[in-house]
Structure 1
Amino acid sequence: MFHPLSKDHFLTKALGGVHAPLRNPIFRNLWIANFLSNLGMIMHAVAAAWFMTSLTTSPLLVGLVQTAVNLPILLLGIPCGALSDLFDRRKLLIIAQWWMLSAAVLMAFFAALGRLSPGGLLALLFLLGIGTALHLPSWMALLQDLVIEEHVPAAVSLNSIGFNLARTLGPALGGFCVNLFGVSLVFFGNALSYLAVLFGLWRIPASLLPPPPSEKVTFKALFHSLREAWSFLVKSRQLPGVLLRMSLFMVAGSGFWGVLPLLARDSLHLSASGYGGLLSAFGIGSVLGALFLPKLRDTISIDAIVATGILLFVGCLLLLAYSQKVMVVSFAMGVCGVAWIWVIVNYNVAIQLSAPAWIKGRMISLYVVIFQGGIGLGSAWTGWLANYVGCQTSLTLGAFLVLAGLLLIPIFPLRERN
């Protein structure tokens, strides 16, 4: 069984380090494939955000780039999590990869023809987000299916490290490719990256996968599955508080993703490559934060780590809002990446360790909905407010709302799994 989420036992020596799941060749192959897919996706995101700044100067429309990708996850994430508990996860993931590949190809095609308007770009990003909503809960649950229970926290950290390693390389590479080749080829490159995940999924031996659910997938079964998840959630001692704390952090603090392209272009006078460099600084900080996180967990309590992350994150948001020096903003983005990981990964593991296997996909979907949906909502309200009061004021308000999250720590502490 999993160990309690206490400050002394959150990770045990039995984990064998954060790299332990990589000793499993199937997990390792999928981790590499997902890294390549994340690299393509992040390059795509950089290209889409920068392309929107060439189509419009509206902070709202630029902020809606993040919203368009993440809104489907907010709307469909929980039903998709229920599907991952009712349906063969590998088949769901294969469907999701082909869906996202098709959306990326369409985006590349219309961009190459010069027929991609702001509305068309947002619509295709929304389609891409539908595939992501189907992909994420099944992917996170499948990775756990491939490792022993004691390695779940390490698998979560590795998944985060892989994503943030891609976020380190992807933005700079994406900005460089946008300048050199144009956005259409970047979009097409992302489409090809989904083939790596498809190849990895097809190579998983059937003997390593859990048996497919015996219950037939119907609307009645889906509704029952969602009602079961709600019943589990309201009876949980830990989950509601964790979800509330994470919701405030994500919705209040994620707005910088939406307005960062405008800050890079207008305040810092950077090109697409410079904008990518800022995102790469965030990725470097995220990787470093994830690597040092296991040692921190052995030293101080989980909530102390989260509180430190919140304070660092607030300081970085204020630097992003008011500094016009590239080096200062780059440093702030790096520290912001460290803080982001210290907060988000602890919430992620707390949610996953609080859910037994039979409801794992649905509980993971709650994390996915709050994480991705929070980015979408945070970018939307920050961009909307920036239309009236400017980016500085909107980011400052977000920073103080994130700071208010410290008040929730003693009310909803992270301590024990259910």
Structure 2
Amino acid sequence: MKRSATTPSGGSAWSPLREKVFRTLWLAQFVSNVGGWMQTVGAQWLLVGHGAAMVSLVQVAAGLPVLLLALPAGVLADLVDRRRLLIGMQVAMAAVTVVLAVLALTGVLGPWSLLLLTFLLGCLTALNGPAWQALQPGLVPREQLRQASALGAVNMNVARALGPALGGALVAAAGVGWTFAVNAASFLGILLVLLLWRPVSQAPSRGQEREQALAALRAGGRYVRSAPGVRRILLRSALFVPGAAALWALLPVAAAQRLGLGSAGYGVLLGAVGLGAVLGAGALPRLGARLGATGMLALAGTLTAGALVVVAVTSEAVLAGAVLALAGAAWIWGLSTLSAALQLELPNWVRARAVAFYLLVFQGGNALGALVWGQLAQHAGLTAALTVSAGLLVSGVFSLRRLPLLDGRVDPSLSDAWPEPRLTVEPAPQDGPVLVTVDYRVAGADASAFVRAMADVEASRRRTGAVSWGLYRDAAESDRFIEVLTVASWAEHCAQHHERYTGIDREFERTAREFVLSEPVVTHAVTARERAVEQSVHVASSGTAGA
């Protein structure tokens, strides 16, 4: 099956909003995002007098927890009920924000207590993120994932426009503390929707065993290492996000120092970003179909770099607002392209864990980028920091020629084409490691093509759970090839059969077996231990049985 992140399908840019649950959650998330941006403006404006480095630490404190918690959060979201996890996170985030509001309104919130509580809120956001993003693809048809990703970015950026404007006005009228109070109330919408929503639960697949946390983390890491498309998405994120982070980290400083604006004027600048985001989302389906995923990333990087240069040198607020509108559209295009490409690649069993790796790169790059640019602005000046970040983005654009997004064959739907092994003794789930061998007969003329095809099979085996893999040719019988793989436990091998074997895995195996003369012979063996030798298994099966 051929499908790429750029496949134009799924109707207009707004089609996902026809889905009731997606629409309701989207609106509730918008209210929460507005509250979050109001709080961000309040927090940053509270620290403007303490220098550029201190202002940038707000973004660092909010994003740095992802580096610590993204991967455990991804494991958690794949192992527990995501809806219940999200409910718990909304309650906890609201509680922390209430504390911020009380401290601010009573006049005892200092810079470091603000950063500490922002860091705590960032920890909860990090635990919330993988579950939230993994939930989204189940709310819309697969062909609308690109539009859904764009709408998620529009949600954030329109909130980025409206929230700061409201936050700036609220700071001017009533003080910083009320921005925290409004944000605390904004969590109630998502919480209410999640409490009322009753998703259809799915019964566990036959043979399915719940993974242990550490084993699940290792499985997620193996998947990412063995998925070239996912690795390339992570690389492109690492080359785009840190440079773009300079705009969001230093814009308050540019507004105050270079453009001479107050908090309300800063909110208007972010309003221009939101307007550009909305216009960019509307243009995304047609533009994406014309340029492709790699072209969209090149356009996003180029426009963002240009906006950084203009903001670095201009003292005209109108010109800055115009280029920030372009930056808003570019951010939507870059973010949606990367997010949709990732979601189209992922099977459900590892979705939250792979999203966690993406968030680790994305949010971590955002936080570390903000830290670097803040320090550079503090010691070398605002213009130097913005110019260097623009140069980093331009270098990323040039690298797209050699390192484009991989528009590969993607079919992450589960497949039942991997038959059950025929056993005389059923191992216990924790038994292992499991040794699997597959004996192939291949004509000499097809040997090279078979070996090349088995490279894709290797990646498939490793993605679905193999901790080691090898392909060997019999020195005595040149037409005999032996595939050998080990899996950590019998439970994980059962997961390969029931939960992890997808359409693309089936396609890779089918392609390799086109060169096979007869049906392969498969054996399964579980490590023999003295305490349970009688339960060791070695079963040979033939016919259409898979590994």
Shorter-normalised TM range:
over 0.9
* Cross-structure match for 1:27: 22
**TM-score normalised over the length of structure 1:** 0.93
Counterparts of 2:157 and 2:193, CA distance in 1: 20
Counterparts of 2:227 and 2:270, CA distance in 1: 37
* Cross-structure match for 2:4: 5
Counterparts of 1:348 and 1:384, CA distance in 2: 29
Structure 2 residue matching 1:301: 3-state secondary structure: helix
* Cross-structure match for 1:349: 340
* Cross-structure match for 1:193: 186
Counterparts of 2:203 and 2:399, CA distance in 1: 40
For the structure 1 residues 310 and 150, does the alpha-carbon distance in structure 2 shift closer, same or farther, using more than 3 Å as the test?
same
* Cross-structure match for 2:265: 274
* Cross-structure match for 1:100: 93
Counterparts of 2:321 and 2:15, CA distance in 1: 32
Counterparts of 2:382 and 2:275, CA distance in 1: 25
- Residue 4 of structure 1 aligns with an amino acid whose one-letter code is R
Structure 1 residue matching 2:12: 3-state secondary structure: coil
Structure 2 residue matching 1:254: 3-state secondary structure: helix
1:36 aligned onto 2:31? yes
Structure 2 residue matching 1:260: 3-state secondary structure: helix
- Residue 231 of structure 1 aligns with an amino acid whose one-letter code is R
Percentage of pairs with the same residue: 37
Q: Please list every run of 5 or more consecutive structure 1 residues that lacks an aligned counterpart in the other structure.
A: none
* Cross-structure match for 2:297: 306
For the structure 1 residues 283 and 74, does the alpha-carbon distance in structure 2 shift closer, same or farther, using more than 3 Å as the test?
farther
Q: Which has the higher strand share?
A: 2
- Residue 376 of structure 1 aligns with an amino acid whose one-letter code is A
**CA shift at 1:122, angstroms?**
0.4
Aligned with residue 381 of structure 2, among 377, 381, 390: 390
* Cross-structure match for 2:248: 257
1:9-63 Cα offsets, whole Å, 9 max, x none, are x222xx1323222222222111111111111111111111111114x1x221111
When structure 1 is superposed on structure 2, of 33-42 and 74-83 the one drifting more is 74-83
When structure 1 is superposed on structure 2, of 368-377 and 381-390 the one drifting more is 368-377
- Residue 203 of structure 1 aligns with an amino acid whose one-letter code is L
* Cross-structure match for 1:144: 137
Matched-pair contact (CA < 8 Å) for 1:245–1:408: no
Counterparts of 1:287 and 1:369, CA distance in 2: 26
When structure 1 is superposed on structure 2, of 292-301 and 315-324 the one drifting more is 292-301
1:141-180 equivalences under 5 Å are 141-180=134-173
**CA shift at 1:342, angstroms?**
1.4
Counterparts of 2:408 and 2:85, CA distance in 1: 32
**CA shift at 1:389, angstroms?**
0.5
* Cross-structure match for 1:412: 403
**CA shift at 1:249, angstroms?**
1.2
Give structure 1 regions of 4+ aligned residues with deviation exceeding 4 angstroms.
209-217
Larger RCO (CA under 8 A, 6+ residues apart): 1
Matched-pair contact (CA < 8 Å) for 1:85–1:362: yes
In the comparison of the two structures, how many residue pairs are matched? Answer: 407
* Cross-structure match for 1:325: 316
Matched-pair contact (CA < 8 Å) for 1:36–1:193: yes
Counterparts of 2:268 and 2:361, CA distance in 1: 27
Counterparts of 1:187 and 1:6, CA distance in 2: 38
1:228 aligned onto 2:191? no
Counterparts of 1:335 and 1:156, CA distance in 2: 19
Counterparts of 2:141 and 2:348, CA distance in 1: 12
- Aligned-CA RMSD value: 1.8
Counterparts of 1:226 and 1:320, CA distance in 2: 42
1:376 aligned onto 2:371? no
> Of the two, which has the highest radius of gyration?
2
Counterparts of 2:224 and 2:384, CA distance in 1: 36
**CA shift at 1:83, angstroms?**
1.0
Matched-pair contact (CA < 8 Å) for 2:56–2:250: yes
Structure 1 residue matching 2:228: 3-state secondary structure: coil
**CA shift at 1:96, angstroms?**
0.8
For the structure 1 residues 51 and 349, does the alpha-carbon distance in structure 2 shift closer, same or farther, using more than 3 Å as the test?
same
**CA shift at 1:86, angstroms?**
0.6
Matched-pair contact (CA < 8 Å) for 1:255–1:380: no
For the structure 1 residues 417 and 345, does the alpha-carbon distance in structure 2 shift closer, same or farther, using more than 3 Å as the test?
farther
**CA shift at 1:6, angstroms?**
6.1
- Residue 168 of structure 1 aligns with an amino acid whose one-letter code is A
- Residue 183 of structure 1 aligns with an amino acid whose one-letter code is V
- Residue 250 of structure 1 aligns with an amino acid whose one-letter code is V
Counterparts of 2:394 and 2:409, CA distance in 1: 26
Matched-pair contact (CA < 8 Å) for 2:5–2:344: no
1:283-322 Cα offsets, whole Å, 9 max, x none, are 1111211111111122222211211121111111001111
**TM-score normalised over the length of structure 2:** 0.72
When structure 1 is superposed on structure 2, of 88-97 and 157-166 the one drifting more is 157-166
Structure 2 residue matching 1:300: 3-state secondary structure: helix
**CA shift at 1:212, angstroms?**
7.9
**CA shift at 1:210, angstroms?**
4.6
Structure 2 residue matching 1:270: 3-state secondary structure: coil
For the structure 1 residues 373 and 6, does the alpha-carbon distance in structure 2 shift closer, same or farther, using more than 3 Å as the test?
closer
For the structure 1 residues 284 and 253, does the alpha-carbon distance in structure 2 shift closer, same or farther, using more than 3 Å as the test?
same
- Residue 11 of structure 1 aligns with an amino acid whose one-letter code is P
Structure 1 residue matching 2:64: 3-state secondary structure: helix
1:132-163 Cα offsets, whole Å, 9 max, x none, are 11112111111222223222222222222222
